[in-house]
Amino acid sequence: MPRVPKTEAKPAHPLLRRRKTAEDSREELIEAAIEVIGRKGLSRTTLADVATKAGIGYGNVTFRFKTKAALLLAALEKVSGEYMNCREEAAVAVADGTAAQRIDAMIVASFSRRVTSQKKIALWHAFLSERHIHSDYRKLFAELREREYSLTKAIFEEIVAAEPNKRADAHLAAVGLNSLIEGLWFNMRSVPNPLKPGEAQHIARVFLGSLFPVAFGDILAQSHQREAASAPEGDEEPEPAMLHD
Protein backbone atom coordinates (compact mmCIF):
# COMPACT_ATOMS: atom_id res chain seq x y z
CA MET A 1 0.00 0.00 0.00
CA PRO A 2 1.57 3.31 -1.00
CA ARG A 3 2.52 5.61 1.82
CA VAL A 4 0.53 8.77 2.08
CA PRO A 5 2.80 11.72 2.71
CA LYS A 6 2.11 13.56 5.93
CA THR A 7 0.72 17.03 5.59
CA GLU A 8 1.38 19.64 8.20
CA ALA A 9 -1.51 21.72 9.45
CA LYS A 10 -1.44 25.16 7.96
CA PRO A 11 -0.96 27.94 10.48
CA ALA A 12 -3.84 30.31 10.98
CA HIS A 13 -3.93 33.25 8.66
CA PRO A 14 -1.84 36.11 10.12
CA LEU A 15 -4.84 38.44 10.15
CA LEU A 16 -6.84 35.91 12.15
CA ARG A 17 -3.98 35.51 14.61
CA ARG A 18 -3.78 39.27 15.10
CA ARG A 19 -7.54 39.54 15.58
CA LYS A 20 -7.55 36.86 18.29
CA THR A 21 -4.65 38.50 20.07
CA ALA A 22 -6.39 41.87 19.94
CA GLU A 23 -9.59 40.41 21.42
CA ASP A 24 -7.65 38.64 24.16
CA SER A 25 -5.77 41.81 25.04
CA ARG A 26 -8.99 43.78 25.16
CA GLU A 27 -10.59 41.29 27.56
CA GLU A 28 -7.49 41.25 29.74
CA LEU A 29 -7.60 45.03 29.99
CA ILE A 30 -11.29 45.05 30.88
CA GLU A 31 -10.76 42.42 33.59
CA ALA A 32 -7.82 44.41 34.92
CA ALA A 33 -9.93 47.57 34.92
CA ILE A 34 -12.62 45.82 36.96
CA GLU A 35 -10.00 44.81 39.53
CA VAL A 36 -8.48 48.29 39.75
CA ILE A 37 -11.83 50.12 39.90
CA GLY A 38 -12.97 47.81 42.68
CA ARG A 39 -9.87 48.69 44.67
CA LYS A 40 -9.32 52.37 43.86
CA GLY A 41 -12.63 53.72 42.58
CA LEU A 42 -13.26 55.47 39.28
CA SER A 43 -11.53 58.79 39.83
CA ARG A 44 -8.25 57.30 41.08
CA THR A 45 -8.05 54.58 38.42
CA THR A 46 -5.55 55.39 35.66
CA LEU A 47 -4.70 53.72 32.38
CA ALA A 48 -1.22 53.12 33.79
CA ASP A 49 -2.75 51.23 36.75
CA VAL A 50 -4.74 49.04 34.37
CA ALA A 51 -1.72 48.40 32.15
CA THR A 52 0.33 47.32 35.17
CA LYS A 53 -2.43 45.05 36.46
CA ALA A 54 -2.88 43.43 33.05
CA GLY A 55 0.85 43.13 32.40
CA ILE A 56 0.39 44.96 29.10
CA GLY A 57 2.36 47.93 27.83
CA TYR A 58 0.81 51.36 28.28
CA GLY A 59 0.91 51.93 24.53
CA ASN A 60 -1.24 48.84 23.98
CA VAL A 61 -3.81 50.19 26.43
CA THR A 62 -4.15 53.49 24.62
CA PHE A 63 -4.30 51.62 21.30
CA ARG A 64 -7.22 49.43 22.45
CA PHE A 65 -8.98 52.21 24.38
CA LYS A 66 -8.26 55.73 23.28
CA THR A 67 -9.42 57.23 26.57
CA LYS A 68 -9.91 56.23 30.18
CA ALA A 69 -13.64 56.92 29.76
CA ALA A 70 -13.87 54.33 26.97
CA LEU A 71 -12.19 51.68 29.12
CA LEU A 72 -14.39 52.41 32.14
CA LEU A 73 -17.52 52.17 30.02
CA ALA A 74 -16.35 48.84 28.58
CA ALA A 75 -15.86 47.53 32.13
CA LEU A 76 -19.38 48.58 33.11
CA GLU A 77 -20.82 47.02 29.95
CA LYS A 78 -19.08 43.73 30.71
CA VAL A 79 -20.26 43.50 34.31
CA SER A 80 -23.84 44.56 33.55
CA GLY A 81 -23.98 42.10 30.66
CA GLU A 82 -22.71 39.27 32.86
CA TYR A 83 -25.36 40.08 35.45
CA MET A 84 -28.28 39.97 33.03
CA ASN A 85 -26.95 36.91 31.22
CA CYS A 86 -26.65 35.16 34.57
CA ARG A 87 -30.28 35.91 35.45
CA GLU A 88 -31.62 34.97 32.03
CA GLU A 89 -29.66 31.72 31.92
CA ALA A 90 -30.95 30.81 35.38
CA ALA A 91 -34.57 31.29 34.31
CA VAL A 92 -34.05 29.28 31.12
CA ALA A 93 -32.43 26.44 33.09
CA VAL A 94 -35.74 25.83 34.91
CA ALA A 95 -38.00 26.71 31.99
CA ASP A 96 -40.13 23.64 32.67
CA GLY A 97 -40.70 24.66 36.29
CA THR A 98 -43.30 26.98 37.76
CA ALA A 99 -43.09 30.74 37.37
CA ALA A 100 -42.15 31.01 41.05
CA GLN A 101 -39.29 28.56 40.51
CA ARG A 102 -38.01 30.68 37.63
CA ILE A 103 -38.08 33.81 39.79
CA ASP A 104 -36.32 31.90 42.56
CA ALA A 105 -33.65 30.74 40.12
CA MET A 106 -33.01 34.37 39.21
CA ILE A 107 -32.72 35.27 42.89
CA VAL A 108 -30.10 32.55 43.35
CA ALA A 109 -28.22 33.80 40.28
CA SER A 110 -28.37 37.40 41.51
CA PHE A 111 -26.45 36.47 44.65
CA SER A 112 -24.04 33.96 43.11
CA ARG A 113 -20.30 34.56 43.32
CA ARG A 114 -20.31 35.23 39.59
CA VAL A 115 -22.29 38.41 40.30
CA THR A 116 -21.56 39.39 43.90
CA SER A 117 -17.79 39.13 44.21
CA GLN A 118 -16.35 41.98 46.25
CA LYS A 119 -14.71 43.57 43.22
CA LYS A 120 -17.95 43.59 41.22
CA ILE A 121 -20.08 45.00 44.02
CA ALA A 122 -17.42 47.67 44.53
CA LEU A 123 -17.58 48.44 40.82
CA TRP A 124 -21.38 48.83 40.97
CA HIS A 125 -20.94 51.25 43.88
CA ALA A 126 -18.40 53.26 41.94
CA PHE A 127 -20.46 53.62 38.77
CA LEU A 128 -23.76 54.26 40.55
CA SER A 129 -22.19 57.08 42.54
CA GLU A 130 -21.17 58.86 39.33
CA ARG A 131 -24.05 58.12 36.98
CA HIS A 132 -25.58 61.55 37.63
CA ILE A 133 -22.62 63.23 35.91
CA HIS A 134 -22.02 60.71 33.10
CA SER A 135 -24.73 60.32 30.46
CA ASP A 136 -23.18 57.07 29.18
CA TYR A 137 -23.51 55.49 32.62
CA ARG A 138 -27.11 56.70 32.98
CA LYS A 139 -27.99 55.29 29.58
CA LEU A 140 -26.43 51.91 30.33
CA PHE A 141 -28.13 51.63 33.73
CA ALA A 142 -31.46 52.61 32.16
CA GLU A 143 -31.08 49.88 29.53
CA LEU A 144 -30.10 47.35 32.19
CA ARG A 145 -33.09 48.22 34.38
CA GLU A 146 -35.50 48.00 31.46
CA ARG A 147 -34.12 44.60 30.50
CA GLU A 148 -34.35 43.17 34.01
CA TYR A 149 -37.78 44.74 34.56
CA SER A 150 -39.20 43.26 31.34
CA LEU A 151 -37.88 39.80 32.15
CA THR A 152 -39.08 39.84 35.75
CA LYS A 153 -42.48 41.42 35.06
CA ALA A 154 -43.30 38.86 32.36
CA ILE A 155 -42.81 36.01 34.82
CA PHE A 156 -44.70 37.78 37.61
CA GLU A 157 -47.66 38.19 35.26
CA GLU A 158 -47.95 34.39 35.20
CA ILE A 159 -47.90 34.31 39.00
CA VAL A 160 -50.49 37.08 39.34
CA ALA A 161 -52.85 35.27 36.96
CA ALA A 162 -52.80 32.11 39.09
CA GLU A 163 -52.38 33.52 42.63
CA PRO A 164 -55.66 33.56 44.60
CA ASN A 165 -54.21 35.62 47.47
CA LYS A 166 -52.07 38.09 45.54
CA ARG A 167 -51.18 41.33 47.29
CA ALA A 168 -49.44 43.05 44.39
CA ASP A 169 -49.54 43.32 40.63
CA ALA A 170 -46.72 42.26 38.32
CA HIS A 171 -45.34 45.79 38.02
CA LEU A 172 -45.05 46.32 41.78
CA ALA A 173 -43.52 42.88 42.30
CA ALA A 174 -40.93 43.36 39.55
CA VAL A 175 -39.86 46.83 40.67
CA GLY A 176 -39.84 45.76 44.32
CA LEU A 177 -37.75 42.64 43.78
CA ASN A 178 -35.19 44.29 41.50
CA SER A 179 -34.80 47.24 43.89
CA LEU A 180 -34.48 44.90 46.85
CA ILE A 181 -31.76 42.86 45.15
CA GLU A 182 -29.74 46.00 44.43
CA GLY A 183 -30.06 47.16 48.03
CA LEU A 184 -29.07 43.75 49.37
CA TRP A 185 -25.93 43.78 47.21
CA PHE A 186 -24.75 46.88 49.01
CA ASN A 187 -25.58 45.35 52.39
CA MET A 188 -23.29 42.46 51.44
CA ARG A 189 -20.37 44.89 51.38
CA SER A 190 -20.95 48.22 53.07
CA VAL A 191 -22.21 47.47 56.59
CA PRO A 192 -20.30 46.28 59.69
CA ASN A 193 -21.88 42.82 59.52
CA PRO A 194 -22.43 42.20 55.81
CA LEU A 195 -25.08 39.77 54.66
CA LYS A 196 -24.10 36.39 53.31
CA PRO A 197 -25.53 35.33 49.94
CA GLY A 198 -27.89 32.82 51.53
CA GLU A 199 -29.24 35.46 53.92
CA ALA A 200 -29.84 37.86 51.05
CA GLN A 201 -31.70 35.16 49.14
CA HIS A 202 -33.88 34.45 52.17
CA ILE A 203 -34.83 38.12 52.54
CA ALA A 204 -35.89 38.24 48.89
CA ARG A 205 -37.99 35.10 49.37
CA VAL A 206 -39.67 36.54 52.48
CA PHE A 207 -40.60 39.62 50.44
CA LEU A 208 -42.12 37.52 47.65
CA GLY A 209 -43.85 35.20 50.10
CA SER A 210 -45.62 38.21 51.59
CA LEU A 211 -46.92 39.21 48.14
CA PHE A 212 -47.74 35.76 46.76
CA PRO A 213 -48.17 33.33 49.69
CA VAL A 214 -49.43 30.45 47.55
CA ALA A 215 -46.92 30.64 44.69
CA PHE A 216 -43.93 31.06 47.01
CA GLY A 217 -45.22 29.11 50.00
CA ASP A 218 -43.14 25.96 49.51
CA ILE A 219 -40.04 27.87 48.42
CA LEU A 220 -40.25 30.13 51.47
CA ALA A 221 -40.83 27.19 53.83
CA GLN A 222 -37.69 25.49 52.53
CA SER A 223 -35.79 28.74 52.86
CA HIS A 224 -36.86 29.08 56.51
CA GLN A 225 -35.69 25.51 57.15
CA ARG A 226 -32.34 26.17 55.53
CA GLU A 227 -31.81 29.34 57.56
CA ALA A 228 -32.68 27.50 60.78
CA ALA A 229 -30.18 24.75 59.96
CA SER A 230 -27.45 27.08 58.69
CA ALA A 231 -23.86 26.58 59.75
CA PRO A 232 -22.61 28.24 62.96
CA GLU A 233 -21.21 31.75 62.68
CA GLY A 234 -17.69 31.71 61.29
CA ASP A 235 -18.10 28.60 59.15
CA GLU A 236 -17.70 29.13 55.44
CA GLU A 237 -21.06 29.13 53.71
CA PRO A 238 -21.39 26.96 50.59
CA GLU A 239 -22.51 28.40 47.28
CA PRO A 240 -26.27 29.04 47.61
CA ALA A 241 -28.56 26.69 45.75
CA MET A 242 -32.19 26.71 44.69
CA LEU A 243 -34.46 25.30 47.33
CA HIS A 244 -36.98 23.46 45.18
CA ASP A 245 -36.93 20.23 43.22
On whether both 53 and 131 belong to a single domain, the answer is no
Please check whether residue 241 lies inside any domain of the structure.
Answer: no
Q: Look at residue 245 and tell me if it is in a domain.
A: no
> Does 22 share its domain with 49?
yes
**Which residue range forms the structural domain that includes residue 188?**
76-228
62 and 82 housed in the same domain: no
Do 222 and 158 sit in the same domain of this protein? yes
Residue 179 lies in a domain: yes
Task: Tell me: do 80 and 62 sit in the same domain.
Answer: no
pLDDT at 150 over 80: yes
The answer to whether residues 143 and 220 belong to one domain is: yes
Query: Roughly what angle, to the nearest 10 degrees, separates helices 68-93 and 47-54?
Result: 60
Domain presence at residue 223:
yes
Q: Is residue 175 part of a domain?
A: yes
Q: 107 lies in a domain?
A: yes
For residue 113, name the pLDDT band (cuts at 50, 70, 90): confident
Domain assignment present for 6: no
pLDDT digit string (tens) for 161-214? 998 878 889 999 999 999 999 999 888 876 678 888 999 999 999 999 999 999
Of 32, 47, 66, the residue at which a domain comes to its end is 66
Of 58-62, 116-120, 237-241, where does the model show the most confidence?
A: 58-62
Q: Examine the pLDDT at 141 and tell me if it is beyond 80.
A: yes
The count of structural domains within the chain is: 2
User: The CATH number of the domain where 193 resides is what?
Assistant: 1.10.357.10
Same domain membership, residue 84 and residue 51: no
Q: For 10-27, what is each residue's pLDDT tens digit?
A: 555 555 544 545 677 889
Structural domain includes residue 93 = yes
Q: Are residues 97 and 199 in the same domain?
A: yes
